[in-house]
Structure 1
Amino acid sequence: MTRHRSRLGDDCVLDEPENVGYLHDESADPAIIGNRARVRKGTIIYADVEIGDDFVTGHNALVREQTTIGDGVIVGTDTVIDGTTDIGSHVSLQTGVYVPTDTTIGDNVFVGPRAVMTNDPYPVRRDVDLVGPTLEDGVSVGANATILPEVRIGEGAFVAAGATVTEDVPADTLALGSPARHHDLPETLSGENTLYE
């Protein structure tokens, strides 16, 4: 099925179909969305986006061009994915999350409300390549956390609410505070995220 530069799978529900496949460039490929998507009112998905099955958004989310998203992903209300980004499967981006260009998010990742990732180490002061952070598989990020450019959050790590992450976080580590310090992951936070259920 083709709609406004988009190709949709089966059983998709789009509140505003004209907002899917937003044409930012006449040569852009259609937005591709898999089966059983639920895209709520106010959400805009650009052309040149590819999304898997069982995709769900809140209201007023934005997914910009050259983004790939796996299966079973939730993009919450007012969340912005600014493009040129890869997101794995079974990822939950809660309300108001900001994902800058050139960010990588693995599988089974949770990002809490109003968490912010950045990609510019010298905003409007120097001309540098923009590189967002990398969140490896199984990462959890608490509400209102900030993750700076090029930071890598290791597999299974947990970033506490309100933390400011300025350097890489090893796998299976707790990052806590501002600037974040690394701690052993408490037993209560160990184990996998349960986003596959």
Structure 2
Amino acid sequence: MDHATIGYEYTDGSADPHIGANATVRAGTIIYDDVVIGDGFSTGHYALVRELTEIGDDVLVGTNAVIDGRTTIGSGTSLQTGVYVPSETTIGDHVFVGPHAVLTNDPYPVREDTELRGPTIENHASIGANATVLPDVTVGERSFVAAGSVVVDDVPPETLAIGAPAEHRSLPEAVPRRNDL
């Protein structure tokens, strides 16, 4: 944890973060106060975890990934290099989010009076590299979002979302599911 900031105070009276056993926090990483992280946590370099975030066990937050706070991330989840997770997002257990995928939470970014509504990524879902998931969208359990796709509406469980805007298709039989690996 050399050259990392653990316990970045964002407001007076914020509580020190809790990081479980066997963590690897690499140089340049900043973890704010009021963060609770389970055992086996690992980051790449320059990861950012903002306040009021809860992270389960055995989670990877890749190099230059940003978790913008007020977020819940389940156990066994992998956020690859450059992933952006906005506030008010829920990510389940055993989720894979590929490099530079972007989750969004503001349905009307130029308006000041909008309520932020991050997406929900359910257990065992997989999101490909450079995909974008729009606000208040649910990616169902065991679903796949193809690389580069733009997800504008809910993805049912065990479904492939592909394209921009993403169309929903049946999963190919040849695709191994995460729990089968």
TM-score class, shorter-chain normalisation, is over 0.9
Return the match for 1:100 from 55, 76, 86: 86
Tell me, yes or no, if the aligned pair for 1:15 and 1:40 is still in contact at 8 Å.
yes
Return the match for 1:171 from 157, 176, 180: 157
- Distance of 2:21 and 2:167 partners within structure 1: 42
Paired amino acid for 1:26: D
Aligned residues: 181
* Equivalent residue number for residue 56 of structure 2: 70
Give CA deviations for 1:67-91 in whole Å, capped at 9, x if unaligned.
0000000000000000000000000
- Distance of 1:193 and 1:161 partners within structure 2: 20
Give CA deviations for 1:30-87 in whole Å, capped at 9, x if unaligned.
1000000000000000000000000000000000000000000000000000000000
* Equivalent residue number for residue 2 of structure 2: 15
State the Cα distance separating 1:190 from its structure 2 match.
4.4
Q: 1:193 to 1:115 in 2, by over 3 A?
A: farther
Find out whether 1:155 has 2:138 as its counterpart: no
Tell me, yes or no, if the aligned pair for 1:109 and 1:193 is still in contact at 8 Å.
no
Q: 1:155 to 1:85 in 2, by over 3 A?
A: same
Moved more, 118-127 or 186-195: 186-195
State the Cα distance separating 1:16 from its structure 2 match.
2.5
State the Cα distance separating 1:188 from its structure 2 match.
2.1
TM-score (norm 2): 0.97
State the Cα distance separating 1:191 from its structure 2 match.
2.3
* Equivalent residue number for residue 185 of structure 1: 171
* Structure 2 residues without counterparts, runs of 5 or longer: none
Give CA deviations for 1:145-186 in whole Å, capped at 9, x if unaligned.
000000000000000000000000000000000000000011
* Equivalent residue number for residue 103 of structure 2: 117
- Distance of 2:143 and 2:176 partners within structure 1: 9
* Equivalent residue number for residue 27 of structure 2: 41
* Structure 1 residues without counterparts, runs of 5 or longer: 1-13
- SS for the counterpart of 2:168 is strand
How large is the RMSD of aligned CA atoms in angstroms?
Answer: 1.2
State the Cα distance separating 1:187 from its structure 2 match.
1.2
Counting aligned pairs with the same residue, the percent is 61
TM-score (norm 1): 0.89
